[in-house]
Amino acid sequence: MVGVIFTLLMLILLQAVLGFDNLLYISLESKKAPEADQKKVRKTGILIAIVLRIVLLFVLVSIIDFFQDPFSFLTGGITDVVHFAFNGHSIIVLLGGGFIIYTAIREIWHMIGDPDLSTGIANNGKKIKSSNAVITSIVLMNLVFSFDSILAAIGLTSEIENATTAFIVMAIAIVISGLLMLVLADRISTFLAKNRMYEVLGLFILFIVGIMLVTEGGHLAHINLFGNEIVPMSKTTFYFVLGILVIVDVVQGKYKKKLIAEQRKH
């Protein structure tokens, strides 16, 4: 029993750590919905995603080999140039990573090109989306982010002999982490609304998340370019880069305020 409780706590911690990038995506994506609906969109998207995560967990536990074993028709390559062996997991992660990179670049491009900064990065006329469209985006990307955390959860619960108990433990961890996400999503969105300059930081972090997913997908697909295997970006590297970006942004912001104060004195 103690071992099961310890595993549950580890799973909740794992879900929380791996869920940060997902939380950031939800906060930025929800800004594309009409302002009056943004809070509702975040909550609805996360609640639907929690249910679908449990469904995904059940599916992965039942047919995990389908997602892990390479597809024969997507295995091959060109001699001395490229080799690959795609499976279901790698395809989903690659598509998700590519979409996030595209989203981050698009948002940054619009931010630079938009002459009216008062509209925000996701509130100009061309970019308002319906609430249902935003909820769909949040749910789909939530599932993409869920794959790694669920597969890691399956690995952590492998020592629990009773399969039903293991499933219940993983489901509880998913629900608890989802509820935490529900609480934090509004706070992060409020923070970004009050501190507009951090939206840029958020988009660059999202861009790095996309790169991390693409490298991970390439590794899962066993892609080998000119004899060099694609190595996934580790979570340690990701959080180190994230820390540096945050520190630089905070220091630069404080220095900018100091310069403005000095200019006003003169």
Asked whether residue 95 is assigned to any structural domain, the reply reads yes
Q: Phi and psi dihedrals of 224, rounded to 5? A: -125, 115
How far, CA to CA in Å, does 196 sit from each of 3, 57, 100?
Answer: 45, 37, 21
What is residue 125's predicted lDDT score, i.e. its pLDDT?
Answer: 45
Residue 111 included in any domain: yes
Residues in the chain, pLDDT under 50: 121-126
Full DSSP string of 14-60: HHHHHTHHHHHHHHHHGGGS-GGGHHHHHHHHHHHHHHHHHHHHHHH
Residue 23 lies in a domain: yes
Short-list 234, 52, 72, CA closest to 140: 52
Query: Rg of the chain's alpha carbons, rounded to an integer?
Result: 21
pLDDT tens sequence across 27-86: 888 888 888 888 888 888 888 888 888 888 888 777 766 767 788 888 888 877 888 888
Domain annotation covers residue 251: no
Residue 83 is assigned to a structural domain of this protein: yes
* 147 neighbors 53 (Cβ within 8 angstroms): no
Give the pLDDT confidence score for residue 115 in this predicted structure.
55
Give the domain range for residue 169: 2-233
Give the pLDDT score at 158.
64
Report yes or no on whether pTM surpasses 0.85.
no
Whether 264 is in a domain gets the answer: no
Q: Is residue 244 part of a domain?
A: no
Contact 10, 170 (CB under 8 A): no
Domain count, the chain: 1
Q: Is residue 76 part of a domain?
A: yes
Q: In what order do the strands lie in the sheet with 82-85?
A: 75-78, 82-85, 224-225, 228-229
